[in-house]
C-alpha cells in the first residue's frame, strides 16, 4: 500500500511539472502577440487549464453516454442530471473570474518578440525531459522579457492613436495617463466597439496599464457621448472632462450628456463639464488717411 501511495505521489508530481512546463511554454509563445495587441494575460490561467482538462473529459464522457443510451433505448435521466450539474459548475467557475487577475505590459519591440519565440522553442528542445529545469528557464525568460520591455518603453509613452484618419493623443504624465480627444476627432463618428477594442488596447500598448486617469473630450457630438455612456462601464476611466462650446447644446446632445453623466456615476468615474467662454468680437481699427484739402484759388 505504501508503495502504491509513493507511485501515485511521484506520478502526480510529474503531471504537475508537465502542466507547468506546457503552461509556461504556451505563455512564452503567446506573450509577444498579446502584448502587441494590447491584451493582458491572466494569472489564473494555470488553474483554469488544470480545471478545464478534467471538466472537458467528463463533459464529453457524459454526452457520449447520453447518445449511446438514446440509441439503444435505455433510460438516461440520471446521466442528464449529472450533465446539468457539470454545466452549472462550469458556468459558476467561469463567473468567478475578475479583471484584476490580468497582467499588462507595454508593447515589446519586434526583435524582442522574435527572440522570446525562438528561445522558448530552443529551451523546450534542449530539455524536453527535465521538467524542473525547463520550467525554470522559461520563467526566467518571461521575467527578463517583461523587464526589458518596461525599460525600453519607459521614456516613450507619448503616442497617437488613429481613429478614422483622426489622431487621439495618449500622454503619460506624473498623475497618470491623459487621453485627449480633439474637437476634430469628436466630430467624427464613433461607436462602443471602437472605444473598447481600439482605445483601451492602445492605452495598454503605450503605458502598460488600461487605467485612464484623465479623459478630455473637446466639443463632442451626441454620437461620442452615446458611445462613451455605453463603454464607460468597461473602460477604466478615473476622470472624464467634457469641454463644450459656448453655444447652446442641441436636444440630442443634451440627452446624451445626461446619459453619460448617469453612466459615469454608476461606474465611479468623476464627471466634469464646462463651457468655453465666448470671446466678444473686436472692432477693426482702420487708419483711414485724412482727406486732403485743396486750397481755393481766389
Question: How far apart, in whole angstroms, are the C-alpha atoms of residue 51 and residue 100?
Answer: 20
Per the DSSP assignment, residues forming a β-bridge with 42 are 102
Question: How far apart, in whole angstroms, are the C-alpha atoms of residue 226 and residue 260?
Answer: 7
CATH number of 159-275: 3.60.15.10
pLDDT for position 203: 83
Residues of the chain with CATH 3.60.15.10: 159-275
The C-alpha cell 468567478 sits at: 96
pLDDT for position 114: 92
Lateral strand order in the sheet of 270-275: 159-163, 166-173, 176-181, 212-218, 237-244, 270-275
User: Which grid cell sits at 288?
Assistant: 483711414
> How many other β-carbons are positioned within 10 Å of the β-carbon of residue 135?
21
Q: What is the pLDDT along the chain (298 residues), one digit of tens a residue?
A: 677 777 777 777 777 778 888 888 888 888 899 888 888 888 877 777 777 778 888 888 888 888 888 888 888 888 888 888 888 888 888 777 777 788 888 888 889 889 999 998 888 888 777 878 888 888 888 888 888 888 877 655 555 555 554 567 777 777 677 787 777 776 777 778 878 888 888 888 878 888 888 888 877 778 888 888 888 888 888 888 887 775 666 777 778 778 888 888 777 787 777 766 555 555 554 555 555 555 545 4
Predicted structure pTM score: 0.70
The DSSP result for 197-219, as a single string, is IIIHHHHHHHHSS--EEEEEEES
CB 245 within 8 A of CB 251: no
pLDDT for position 298: 44
Residue burial 50-87, b: 16+ Cβ < 10 Å; e: rest: eeeeeeeeeeeebeebeeeeeeeeeebeebeeebeebe
Q: Is 126 exposed, middle or buried (0-12, 13-18, 19+ CB in 10 A)?
A: exposed
Amino acid at each position: 500500500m505504501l508503495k502504491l501511495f509513493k507511485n501515485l505521489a511521484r506520478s502526480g508530481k510529474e503531471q504537475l511539472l508537465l502542466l507547468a512546463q506546457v503552461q509556461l511554454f504556451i505563455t512564452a509563445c503567446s506573450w509577444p502577440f498579446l502584448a502587441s495587441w494590447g491584451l493582458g494575460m491572466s494569472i489564473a490561467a494555470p488553474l483554469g487549464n488544470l480545471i478545464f482538462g478534467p471538466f472537458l473529459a467528463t463533459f464529453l464522457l457524459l454526452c457520449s453516454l447520453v447518445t449511446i443510451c438514446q440509441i439503444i433505448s435505455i433510460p438516461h435521466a440520471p446521466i442528464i442530471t449529472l450533465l446539468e450539474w457539470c454545466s452549472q459548475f462550469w458556468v459558476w467557475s467561469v463567473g468567478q473570474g475578475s479583471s484584476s487577475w490580468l497582467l499588462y505590459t507595454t508593447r515589446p519591440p519586434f526583435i524582442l518578440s522574435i527572440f522570446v519565440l525562438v528561445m522558448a522553442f530552443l529551451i523546450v528542445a534542449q530539455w524536453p525531459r527535465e521538467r524542473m529545469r525547463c520550467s525554470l528557464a522559461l520563467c526566467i525568460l518571461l521575467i527578463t522579457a517583461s523587464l526589458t520591455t518596461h525599460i525600453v518603453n519607459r521614456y516613450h509613452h507619448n503616442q497617437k492613436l488613429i481613429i478614422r484618419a483622426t489622431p487621439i493623443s495618449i500622454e503619460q504624465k506624473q498623475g497618470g495617463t491623459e487621453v485627449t480627444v480633439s474637437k476634430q476627432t469628436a466630430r467624427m463618428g464613433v461607436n462602443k466597439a471602437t472605444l473598447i477594442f481600439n482605445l483601451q488596447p492602445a492605452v495598454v500598448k503605450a503605458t502598460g496599464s488600461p487605467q485612464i486617469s484623465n479623459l478630455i473630450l473637446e466639443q463632442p457630438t451626441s454620437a461620442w457621448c452615446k458611445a462613451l455612456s455605453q463603454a464607460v462601464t468597461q473602460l477604466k476611466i478615473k476622470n472624464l472632462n467634457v469641454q463644450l462650446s459656448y453655444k447652446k447644446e442641441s436636444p440630442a446632445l443634451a440627452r446624451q450628456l445626461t446619459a453619460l453623466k448617469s453612466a459615469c456615476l454608476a461606474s465611479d468615474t468623476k464627471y466634469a463639464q464646462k463651457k468655453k467662454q465666448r470671446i466678444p468680437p473686436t472692432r477693426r481699427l482702420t487708419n483711414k488717411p485724412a482727406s486732403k484739402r485743396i486750397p481755393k484759388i481766389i
